[in-house]
Chains A and B, each alone.
Chain A
C-alpha cells in the first residue's frame, strides 16, 4: 500500500526519507486503523439496518438446525457416537456457515463499499479483511449463544477441548476470508462470478458433514469428501467438543494449505484489480 501510506502518514517533518522499516510499520498501523474503522462501520450496516438485527444473524443457523432435527426425528435417526442431536447439528452447521457466509460477504465487500475506496488508505483488501473479522466474530458469538442455550436446556456442559473448537471455527473463518478475497477480486473483473457462486458452492452444503461425520460414511465416500476443507473444520470442532468423538481423518495442514494458496491467489488478484476498480 505504497500510495496510501504516503497519503495517510503524518506530514513529513524530517527532510530525510523514512526508512523502509518505518514505512512498513506506519503502513501496518494505518491499515489496522482502517480495518478497525471499517469493522465498526460494517457492524452498524450489517446489524443496524433492521430492528432485531442480531436476531436475524441467529435465525439462519437455527433454521437449518431445526430442519435437520425434524428430519432426524421423522427418520428415527440419532446422532452418531452418542452426541446430543442439537449439539451435533450445531457443530456441523456453524463451522460451515462461518466459512461460507464469510466467503460470500467478503466476496461482496467491494460492491457494497465502493464509495469508501475514495479514501486512499482504504483498499479492497481492507474491505475484505474487515468483513472477515466481523463475520468470524459474529459466528463465534452465535456458536456460544446456541451451544450455551443447549447446555442450559439439557443441563449438560462439557467441552472436551475448547482450543480445538476455537481452532476449527478459526480455520473456517480464515478459509472463508481467503476464498472471499479471491471471489471479491474476480467479481471486479467479471460479474459472471456473482452468478456462478451459488450453483458452484451449493454442493458443499451437503458435503461438509452438517448431518454426518467422516467416521460414519463408507471409506470410499469418505476419501472423496475429505477433499473438502470445510469438512475438516467441522470434524475439528466436533473432535474438540464431544469427549465421545475422535476425528481420525482430520488434517489441519491440508486446510492451512488451502488457506495459504487462496490467500496468495487472492492477494495477487487484488493487486491487479486495484487499478481496475471504478470508484464512483
Chain B
C-alpha cells in the first residue's frame, strides 16, 4: 500500500518554476495493480521516483507498507563499468537477499547470454531493461514500480513479463506508468491519468481512455 498526502514536486528551470506534481492525494491499495497514463513530460517518471523514495517530494507525505521496488526502467540503477552480474550482486546486497539465488534467477530471466558477464555500458537499452526487470523479479517486492519497461523486447519477453506478474498477483501488485494504453491494459485493475500535476483515477479502462484522449 502506498498513500500520498498533498504531494508536490516542482523543478526549477530557466523559465521559472515548473510544477510537475501539484498537491496529489492518492491511495494505491495492496494487491491492486494500477496503470498510470500520461503524455511525455507529464511527470510520470517523477511520480514513480517519488513513489519509490528515490526522490523526496517538496511538500506532502508518503506512507508505504510492504517492500516497494525501485523504479524499474531503462535508466538508472546500474553502474556502467560493472558487469550485469556484479550489478545484481550489489542490488542483492542492499536488499539483503541471497546473492547466488538472485544472480541465477536474474541470469535465467533476463536471458541476455554472455552479455550478463560484460559491462552494462555495452548493453542496448532493451538489454538493460531485461536485466532490470529480471533483477526486480528475483527480489520479492510487495509493490513493483515499472516505467514502460514491459513495452520493450520481443513478444516472447513480453509474454514472460506478463506471466511473471500473473504468478505473483496473489502477493504483489504493480504500478505501471506509460503513454500507451495497450501497455497497461494487460496488467492493471485500476487506471489513472496524470495531467497538469493531477492524478485522476478510473475503474474502467474505457473511461480512462476517454479522459486520456480528451484534449488537455
Q: Which residues of A contact B (CB under 8 A)?
A: 3-4, 6-8, 10-12, 30, 33-34, 36-38, 40-41, 44-45, 48-49, 113, 115-122, 274-275, 277, 279-280
Contacts and interface: CB of A to CB of B under 8 A. Distances in A.
Interface in B157-206: none
A116 B77 contact: yes
Contact of A37 (B52, B53, B90): B90
Interface in B47-96: 49, 52-56, 58, 62, 64-68, 70-71, 75-79, 81-82, 86, 90-91, 93-96
Contact of A280 (B56, B68, B76, B81): B76
A6 B76 CA distance: 21
Contact of A40 (B56, B93, B142): B93
Given A33-B93, A34-B94, A41-B82, A280 B75 contact: yes
Interface of B: 49, 52-56, 58, 62, 64-68, 70-71, 75-79, 81-82, 86, 90-91, 93-96, 142
A24 to B, nearest CB: 17
Nearest to B61: A3
Nearest to B53: A120
A277 B56 CA distance: 10
A44 B82 contact: yes
Contacts of B142: 11
Contact of B79 (A36, A115, A274): A115
Nearest to B80: A115
Main SS of the interface on chain A? helix
Given A40-B93, A119-B94, A11 B53 contact: no
Given A7-B67, A11-B142, A45 B53 contact: no
Nearest to B12: A276
A207 to B, nearest CB: 36
B65 A12 contact: yes
A119 B92 CA distance: 12
B64 A119 contact: no
Nearest to B86: A44
A118 B68 CA distance: 12
Given A115-B76, A119-B70, A37 B56 contact: no
B58 A122 contact: no
Nearest to A12: B65
A4 B67 CA distance: 11
22 contacts: A6-B64, A8-B67, A8-B95, A8-B96, A10-B67, A12-B65, A37-B94, A41-B82, A41-B86, A45-B79, A115-B75, A115-B77, A115-B78, A115-B79, A118-B49, A118-B71, A120-B68, A122-B94, A275-B55, A277-B55, A279-B55, A280-B75
Contacts of A277: 55
Nearest to A119: B70
